[in-house]
Structure 1
Amino acid sequence: MESEESEPVRRRPGGRAARVREAVLAAAADVLVEHGAAKLTIAGVAARAGVNETTVYRRWGTREKLVLDALLAASDQGIPVPDTGDVRADLTAFATALAEYLATPLGRAVARAAVLGADDPALAEAWQEFWRSRLDQAAVMIQRAVDRGELPAGTDAAVAVELLAAPVQSRALLGHRPPEPDFPGRLAAVILDGLRGR
């Protein structure tokens, strides 16, 4: 009789832990859309995701960390930082993605909640961390342009990204003036002229 060798147990990438994370973040995003960050609770998110509350606490620890992770995950997916090799194309693509994201229910909820802020200091800190993280990620577009010689050394990347994002966010929040299809490209051109001192 031949002896069978036992197969080693292999963890599949994207296994249970990844599925739980995805379900919890999706549930958190749904709560953000429906009720805002102030009314998000770990118990409510866990119930909606179909997981145990202790699982959420074990992974995220606090409601604020969960909110932050949900916001970052949604914006990473919805607003990728492009790398086309050309700063104007990068800024145009980024502004276009931002406008499209802000037109979604989640994007609108995030924008409204960001403007309203939070009375809870821990939640306010999570919002600040969210904006810092997004600015740092997007600032890479400007730094690459400086490295390629498209923009002068010393260009303030954070200010450049804020100049790009603010008009798009403003139009989304006001709600009565959505960006025209060529708006992101025109905005990128104006910002680049300013950064280059033209």
Structure 2
Amino acid sequence: MDKPKPPQLRGVKLQRAVLDATIARLEAVGIDQVRIADVAVAAGVHETSIYRRWRTLARLLADALVSRTAAEVPIPDTGSVRTDLVEFTTALARFVATPTGTALVRGTVLADDDPEVAAMREEYWRQRLAASEQIVRRAQARGEVATTADPRTVVLTLGGLVHMHATHLGREVSPQTIRTAVDMIVDGIAAA
């Protein structure tokens, strides 16, 4: 007697299964060893389903990392710019310390010579920066931060701090360093 075939995944269920399997493979074997065939087996789908939706391994890895980042680094809204920036930067630092976060920050998954992946990476950063900048924009609307403060510079400064610790210093940024950096920034952009 033949074994019954597992139900075919479609739409959101297929996407979730494949992205989760991709992250699991990335964490298990490292980014350089992830293969679409292995992801397909882990997700319980056919390789053709993955190729149809993502077309390339680079696009699949990028999408998986983008999805994971949004889940792991939410944009806080506590009503205090100082608290929001500490929470955001702390979540970012915690994420960067994971194998998935490290892969994203180091950019090892995104090939510069692939225009499609480069466009996807650009769109990802546009969306993430726009979302992160809302922390400062909300504080400006509350009168907490000067209207002349540049939200993107604030976010990039804190992101750069985390990035430098992860990629160049080889260690996590400490909670005290995060608080000190946020204090310096908030004191500098505070409304008069």
Q: Give TM class, smaller chain.
A: 0.7 to 0.9
Q: Which whole-Å deviations, capped at 9, do the CAs of 1:18-60 have from their partners, x for residues lacking one? A: 4322220012223444443x77554443233220223334444
Q: Any unmatched runs of 5+ in structure 1?
A: 1-14
Residue in 1 that maps onto 2:147: 153
Is 2:51 the counterpart of 1:51? no
Within the candidate set 112, 122, 140, 1:118 is matched to 112
Is 2:21 the counterpart of 1:27? yes
Q: Any unmatched runs of 5+ in structure 2?
A: 1-8
Residue in 2 that maps onto 1:102: 96
Within the candidate set 57, 72, 75, 2:69 is matched to 75
* TM-score, with length taken from structure 2: 0.80
Q: Which is worse superposed, 41-50 or 79-88?
A: 41-50
Q: Which is worse superposed, 170-179 or 58-67?
A: 58-67
Label 1:61 to 1:116 Cα distance change in 2 as closer, same or farther (>3 A): closer
CA RMSD of aligned residues (A): 2.8
**Identity rate of aligned residues, in percent?**
38
Larger radius of gyration: 1
Number of aligned residues: 183
Q: Distance in 1 between matches of 2:98 and 2:41?
A: 24
Q: Aligned with 2:68: secondary structure?
A: helix
Label 1:101 to 1:93 Cα distance change in 2 as closer, same or farther (>3 A): same
* TM-score, with length taken from structure 1: 0.78
Q: Which whole-Å deviations, capped at 9, do the CAs of 1:52-105 have from their partners, x for residues lacking one? A: 223334444554543332122100111111010000000000010011111111
Q: Distance in 1 between matches of 2:48 and 2:64?
A: 18
